[in-house]
Structure 1
């Protein structure tokens, strides 16, 4: 999975940042303290979120959970409590099972362009709708994405995590 694809999914929750579920049977609703409101498998990281610079009101993924080879539509709303300036960054980690595929620090203002935003991200309400084409070549398996987002002054913007189990597509030849 490309860095920009992984970040686009998660960056919706960090301006609200994306994705992923352990349960293919039903969409996940916000019924737990860590669940991000809406219809997505996004969860907040454990810990105090009262000083986070973004409040996420809702993230809706269609389809939920995402599927390889499908178009994913991400709708997110929230409030930016303080203007986010150049120099903000995200510590991004993507794991496939126990294998770490990505472990990087990325410039938020560069990556946020994937959801059609630019820095500075002004204080106030924010709404994002983004379409992402998920490659059909995503290998089946469990993926975990963690994104911890900070300002240039190391103030936490938000922290999100998500899980998805991309199932093997059955075909005529699998019968």
Structure 2
């Protein structure tokens, strides 16, 4: 699985009411973000989440932080308050340090296939467990991922961000948050 596909798969989990990483702006805002409950580097973006269609209740990554060349298990739960239809999208920004690796808009319904879901996503409680392989070729360094997810009409679904450091000690990684 390519590194960008791993990012998409992981964020798809969060979009489907669990954890991962997608993006949506040219700027990453970490200073005032709120931690997503669970054992993961995920944080909610610094914005009002009272109207989000998905309430993410817990995201656990094993191992946390993710390691290059290892399997990553993502467990997530949340509640979907409105049916999510075709046309929903996610704006993704991935940075390696200060270098922007990826800035794109992706079709949410296409991407959630990476976590064995499909559109429409119905209202209700959703639990996901997914394993992905992180390629050993992931260069060491700090990665910032930002994902802003919305319906075709622009209504907020969720917005998440994470900072993950590959190639350092776990203590070093946690210091970046």
Q: TM-score range by the shorter chain?
A: 0.7 to 0.9
CA distance in 2, matches of 1:77, 1:65: 19
Deviations 1:3-41 (A, max 9, x none): 32111111211112426xxxxxxxxxxxx9700001111
Q: Name the counterpart of 2:35.
A: 35
Q: Name the counterpart of 2:15.
A: 14
Answer with 1 or 2: which has the greater Rg. 1
Aligned residues: 157
CA distance in 1, matches of 2:33, 2:167: 28
TM-superposed CA distance for 1:152, in Å, is 0.6
TM-superposed CA distance for 1:69, in Å, is 0.4
Q: Name the counterpart of 1:109.
A: 109
Paired residue secondary structure (1:146): strand
Deviations 1:131-172 (A, max 9, x none): 000000100000001000000110000000001110169xxx
Q: Name the counterpart of 2:28.
A: none
CA distance in 1, matches of 2:121, 2:163: 27
TM-superposed CA distance for 1:2, in Å, is 3.8
CA contact (8 A) 2:86 2:119 kept: yes
CA RMSD of aligned residues (A): 1.6
Unaligned 5+ segments in structure 1 are 20-31, 170-175
After superposition, residues 32-111 of structure 1 pair within 5 angstroms as: 34-111=34-111
TM-score by length of structure 1 reads: 0.86
Deviations 1:43-66 (A, max 9, x none): 000011000000011000000110
Q: Name the counterpart of 2:162.
A: 162
CA distance in 1, matches of 2:107, 2:33: 29
CA distance in 2, matches of 1:157, 1:59: 16
TM-score by length of structure 2 reads: 0.85
Paired residue secondary structure (2:113): helix
